[in-house]
Amino acid sequence: MLKTPSNTLTIFFFLLVTISTLGQNTTKNIHTEIQQHTEQIFDSLVKIRRDLHMYPEVGGEEKRTSTKIAAYLTELGLEVKTGIGGYGVVGILKGVKPGKKIAWRADIDAMPSKAPDVVDFPSKHEGVRHICGHDVHTAVALGIANTLVQQKEDLEGTIYFVFQPSEENIKGALAMMDDGLFDMIQPEEMYAMHVTPFPAGTIAAKPEEMFSDYKKVDLFFKKGNNKDALYEFAKQAILSLENVSPESKFWNMQNMGDPEIGIAGTKSIYKNYTTVDKNNFSIKEANNGVKISGFISFSDKKQRDAAIPSLKKKIADSEFAEDFSTAELVNVFPTLDNNERLVNESLEQLSDIYGENRVLRLHGVVADGRSDDFAFFQPKVPSVYFFMGGSNYEKGIIAQTHSPNFAVDESCIKTGVNLFSSLIIERLNP
Give me the least distance between CB of 372 and Zn ion, in Å please: 6
Phi, psi of 416 (to 5 degrees): -60, -45
Give me the least distance between CB of 19 and Zn ion, in Å please: 23
Give me the least distance between CB of 132 and Zn ion, in Å please: 3
Please tell me which residue in 57, 109, 168, 372 is annotated as part of the active site.
168
Pairing of strands 97-107, 189-199: parallel
Cα–Cα distance, 295 to 280 (Å, whole number): 7
Cα–Cα distance, 419 to 430 (Å, whole number): 15
Q: Are the CB atoms for 201 and 389 separated by under 8 Å? A: yes
> Between the CA of residue 298 and those of 186, 217, 366, 385, what are the distances in Å?
32, 12, 10, 19
3-class DSSP assignment, residue 359: strand
**408 lies in the binding site for Zn ion (CB under 5 A):** no
Please say which residue, 195 or 417, places its beta carbon nearer to Zn ion: 195
Give me the least distance between CB of 194 and Zn ion, in Å please: 6
Q: Is 402 annotated as a binding residue?
A: yes
Phi, psi of 423 (to 5 degrees): -60, -45
- The residues near 51 (Cβ < 8 Å, ≥ 6 apart) are 68
> Between the CA of residue 407 and those of 58, 62, 304, 404, 426, what are the distances in Å?
18, 21, 35, 9, 31
Q: Is 412 annotated as a binding residue?
A: no
Name the residue number minimizing CB distance to Zn ion.
132
- The residues near 52 (Cβ < 8 Å, ≥ 6 apart) are 65, 68, 108, 130, 135, 138, 139
Give me the least distance between CB of 107 and Zn ion, in Å please: 6
Q: C-alpha angle 120/124/126, rounded to 5°? A: 120
Taking residue 331's Cβ as centre, other Cβ atoms within 10 Å add up to 12
**2 lies in the binding site for Zn ion (CB under 5 A):** yes
Name the region of 329 (left: φ>0; alpha: ψ -120 to 50; beta: rest): beta
Give me the least distance between CB of 1 and Zn ion, in Å please: 4
Please say which residue, 166 or 293, places its beta carbon nearer to Zn ion: 166
Residues paired with residue 213 on neighbouring β-strands, in sequence order = 298
Taking residue 243's Cβ as centre, other Cβ atoms within 10 Å add up to 13
**407 lies in the binding site for Zn ion (CB under 5 A):** no
Element spanning 112, H or E? strand 111-112
**110 lies in the binding site for Zn ion (CB under 5 A):** no
Residue 394 designated active-site: no
Q: Which stretch binds Zn ion (CB under 5 A): 1-9, 232-240, 287-295, 405-413?
A: 1-9
Please say which residue, 34 or 170, places its beta carbon nearer to Zn ion: 170
Nearest Cα residue to 387 out of 414, 350, 416 = 416
Please say which residue, 132 or 230, places its beta carbon nearer to Zn ion: 132
Please say which residue, 1 or 381, places its beta carbon nearer to Zn ion: 1
Residue 107 designated active-site: yes
**106 lies in the binding site for Zn ion (CB under 5 A):** no
If you write DSSP's letter for every residue of 214-231 in order, what string do you get? EEEEEEEEE--S-HHHHH
Give me the least distance between CB of 368 and Zn ion, in Å please: 12
Cα–Cα distance, 33 to 249 (Å, whole number): 45
Please say which residue, 2 or 70, places its beta carbon nearer to Zn ion: 2
Site track 117-156 with Zn ion (rule: CB under 5 A), x = hit: ---------------x------------------------
Q: Is 322 annotated as a binding residue?
A: no
Rg of the chain in Å (alpha carbons): 23
Please tell me which residue in 107, 117, 258, 373 is annotated as part of the active site.
107
**1 lies in the binding site for Zn ion (CB under 5 A):** yes
**9 lies in the binding site for Zn ion (CB under 5 A):** no
Taking residue 395's Cβ as centre, other Cβ atoms within 10 Å add up to 10
**399 lies in the binding site for Zn ion (CB under 5 A):** no
Count the residues of the shown chain that bind Zn ion, applying the rule CB under 5 A.
3
Site track 44-83 with Zn ion (rule: CB under 5 A), x = hit: ----------------------------------------
Give me the least distance between CB of 29 and Zn ion, in Å please: 35
Terminal Cα-to-Cα distance of the chain (whole angstroms): 32
Please say which residue, 62 or 323, places its beta carbon nearer to Zn ion: 62
Residues listed for the chain: 430
Please say which residue, 103 or 388, places its beta carbon nearer to Zn ion: 388
Active site residues: 107, 168
Return binding residues for Mn(2+): 132, 134, 168, 194, 402
Q: Which residues bind Zn ion (CB under 5 A)?
A: 1-2, 132
